[in-house]
Amino acid sequence: MEAFPVNKRESGHIVLLGPHYTKTLKALGHTETQLPDSLYFTFCGDILGSSGEHYTKGHPISFFDACDKASLSFSDDFMTSLAMHILREDVFSPDLPGLLAEKEKFFDLIAAHFEALSQTYSPWFGALRNAKEPGPFLDIIYGHGSCGAAMRAAVLAADGVEDEQAFNLLLITHGHTEALEGGMWVKGMADAAIDGRDFNACLRGARDKSRAARTRAADFHADNGLPSQLETAPPFEQFIQDTLSADDPYATICDIAEEGIETRFVVGAVMHVLRQIWDRGMPEQDIPYLVAKSLEIGGDPDTICSIAMGLYGLRWPNESRIFLNEVGIGTPEIDLVPGNW
């Protein structure tokens, strides 16, 4: 059994997401009952968002076509979220030696997937993997505002990880203010989703955690002799406000080819998508919209889809799982997914 299978679309068969998740976990040495629900939703979003191009705007697509074109292989979105779950209770010091050692453990966990599917990872991940000394490691995490921290924050909320530990785990790969604020924004949304709050209440919870992360990021930079980023990185809540006020997922970027994986864009796009569906609780309509809209936005569509699905699934867990379990991917001969998309 392949751990990272390739979808042979010419075969004409359908693979249902529920059984595919179970089979994938078995190949990785895990069982579903040992893992939080958010990993299932992240996995489904990762798979269903897999057919979009990166670093470009997408185009309108039906949910049926998205399922037809979806890959069986998951990307870094699911793999790194799984690694975060495994590391959730690690005790380590958030100084450079402690972070560097924890980073090595993180890369050991994702090594097989990274080597098999490195093209699904951020372009700077190889440099981070190869950074073995504190100086180069610090330079890399300080300079990158990409969305990697945000993509794996929801699982930490589902695991019940406290904010301080979550921040430290995000810090092993991301030290940029924007990335850390965005990561804790997603955790704030996830914490509130688990509590069943409406969209505006979730935004407030996310805002509070991102503000605290901004202060902690500034302290980390000062402790390590780094220039403050507070003047060059606006508060993360401003990015979200600009996106939602303009009703435009591209409101915070100038060039999607250069900024398509930046945290402000990806998390802003997630909020743009979720605002339309968060409070409805109708997965048979909401999930197709979520997938199609993520692919239409583009930039980093699988990450937009995986974060949005992870958060929506935490808000509506039972209803979402029932729907997603029966979603078929591959090259269908008949439409096994009910509805008209």
Segment 116-168, tens digit of pLDDT? 888 889 888 999 999 999 999 999 999 989 999 999 999 999 999 999 999 99
Cα separation, 152 vs 299, in Å, equals 18
- Is the pLDDT at 338 greater than 60? The verdict is no
Cα separation, 193 vs 41, in Å, equals 13
- Is the pLDDT at 333 greater than 90? The verdict is no
- pTM of the model as a whole: 0.94
What is the pLDDT confidence band of residue 197, given thresholds at 50, 70 and 90?
very high
Query: Is residue 105 within 8 Å of 135, Cβ to Cβ?
Result: no
**207-266 pLDDT, tens digit each:** 999 999 999 999 999 999 999 999 999 999 999 999 999 999 999 999 999 999 999 999
Cα separation, 84 vs 106, in Å, equals 8
**100-129 pLDDT, tens digit each:** 999 999 999 999 999 988 888 988 899 999
Cα separation, 199 vs 149, in Å, equals 22
What letter represents residue 154's amino acid? A
Domain spans, the chain: 9-330
- What average pLDDT does range 18-40 have in this prediction? 94
Topology of the domain comprising 9-330: ADP-ribosylglycohydrolase fold (1.10.4080)
Confidence at residue 124, expressed as pLDDT on a 0 to 100 scale: 85
What letter represents residue 321's amino acid? R
Confidence at residue 334, expressed as pLDDT on a 0 to 100 scale: 42
- What average pLDDT does range 190-198 have in this prediction? 98
- Is the pLDDT at 2 greater than 70? The verdict is no
Average pLDDT, the chain: 93
Confidence at residue 331, expressed as pLDDT on a 0 to 100 scale: 53
Three-class SS of residue 185?
A: helix
Confidence at residue 119, expressed as pLDDT on a 0 to 100 scale: 87
What letter represents residue 51's amino acid? S
